[in-house]
Structure 1
Amino acid sequence: MTGEMKFQPGPAPVLTGDERFTGLDHTVKDFWSYAARDLRSNVLRGVLAEWLVAKAVGAAEPRPEWDEFDVLTADGIQVEVKSSAYLQAWPQHDLSRISFSGLRSQKLGPENRYSGQRTFNADVYVFCVQTAQSHDAYDPLDVSQWDFYVLPRSHVESIGYRSIGLARIKSVTQQVSFDELAAAINQAAEATVWDTPE
């Protein structure tokens, strides 16, 4: 079936957290406290990393979760954000090995159908590492506990895998702080432009 989509969602409302549920004596903030209680969890850590990158580059709007990249800068740079951490929200015998997966993904095409082919879809890839190695020290809200590694798409493509370890990333780029992140993304985007065939 082709043609115009019958049901088009409008923009998501911007919530403050003070909005009240109808028929329930609770607010959106109460829901957030329930749903997003532990920022160490894999899912929420990934969302937090995306938000940190978005704040670093001044991106105003979140991307739809099905989009082919995570953050769009004001200059139109498409950024894919990956996160990892040494500590998880569950008991561990050892610290986790830092690695990042899902570097290639399918694009969503016409009629909301996936292409069937996994490709590298962003201009720039940002690898975010939560560096705490003891739970007493772990503070996901402390940006100084995050290391960021930025690579242009061409470097990620040249590796050719759907996942990558931290040692490999460190062999081709240096860690940057949160304050250095926006400049590093712009620099990597320039490399992507120069590496793109005409």
Structure 2
Amino acid sequence: MPSDSTAPANWHTPAELVPLEGREAFRGADAGTVLDFWRYAMPDLRTNTTRGLLAEFLVHRAVGAVARNTEWEAFDVLTPDGTRVEVKTSAYLQVWGQRRLSEIRFSRLRGRTWSPEAGEASEQSYNADIYVFALHAARTHADYDPLDIGQWGFYVASRALVEAAGHASLGLASVRRLCGGPVAYEELAGRIATCARSLLLTGETAEASTADT
């Protein structure tokens, strides 16, 4: 985003974010606190949207990321060393009734970048250095515990591998062929770092990607 000294006269620059703690009260009416809103908005960590955010949060914590990405970024997590990580999530169980377990598929692997200055890119691309495919492996609701990190498996691949596959989405068998077996949460940061080092050795970066296959 342009700095204040270079921004156009009509450019509306948001104020610096002040993180909320939850106890702040809404003003102008008795509408409760920010914590009340959080409880309303995310009461169930199993829903597709919230489960995706949870996976991003876990990766964010694992790599020691400093701040959450803005929502228009073309990747999900920025590591302290500048590695761009995209997190894709899938699960066998949903919050609605199912005749059978869901097919595991990780979608939207490429997309159009966007910025306030340039708008949307004309072509799709692979926009992260590392892809983390996060699978929640519970197969019965009796076993499903959204607070049990051990129920997640994390598959990690470099952008070069994902781009070479040439697909906008991948099923579990394809992910396993690209990544090998999953790693547990305790090993996730190490696997991401290993993939990032391989990118440095080969000179591959997300900025080099302009594929639209």
- Name the TM-score, length of structure 1 as normaliser: 0.94
For the residues of structure 1 that align with 2:115 and 2:138, how far apart are their CA atoms? 40
CA RMSD after TM alignment:
1.6
Q: Which residue of 1 aligns with 2:19?
A: 14
* Cα shift readout 1:97-132 (whole Å, capped 9, x = no counterpart): 111011001112462411121100100000001111
Whether contact under 8 Å (1:154, 1:195) holds in the other structure is: no
Deviations 1:144-198 (Å, cap 9, x if unpaired)?
Answer: 0000000000000010010001111112322101000001001111222233369
1:177 aligns with 2:176: no
In structure 2, C-alpha distance between the alignment counterparts of 1:196 and 1:121, rounded to whole Å: 15
For structure 1, list consecutive stretches of 5 or more residues without a partner in the other structure: none
Contact 2:162–2:178 under 8 Å retained in 1: no
Question: Taking every aligned residue pair, what percent have the same amino acid on both sides?
Answer: 45
Q: Larger deviation: 78-87 or 5-14?
A: 5-14
Matched, 1:101 2:107: yes
Asked if 2 retains the 8 angstrom alpha-carbon contact of 1:147 and 1:177, the reply is yes
* Structure 2 gaps, min length 5: 1-6, 209-213
Residue aligning to 1:30:
36
SS at match of 2:123: strand
Number of aligned positions between the proteins: 196
> Which is strand-richer, 1 or 2?
1
CA separation of 1:141/1:11 partners in 2, compared to 1, >3 Å: closer, same or farther? Answer: farther
| 2:189 counterpart of 1:168 | no
Query: What SS does the aligned partner of 2:117 have?
Result: helix
Instruction: Report the Cα offset of residue 41 of structure 1.
Output: 0.9
Of the candidates 37, 43, 59, which is equivalent to residue 53 of structure 1? 59
1:68 corresponds in structure 2 to 74
Distance 2:61 2:152 in 1: 14
Q: What one-letter code is carried by the residue in structure 1 that aligns with 2:165?
A: I
CA drift of 1:10 comes to 2.5
TM-score (norm 2): 0.87
Separation of aligned partners in 1, 2:19 and 2:157: 32
Q: 1:156 aligns with which of 156, 162, 166?
A: 162
- Looking at structure 1, the residues matched to 116 and 47 of structure 2 have their Cα atoms a distance apart, in angstroms, of 34
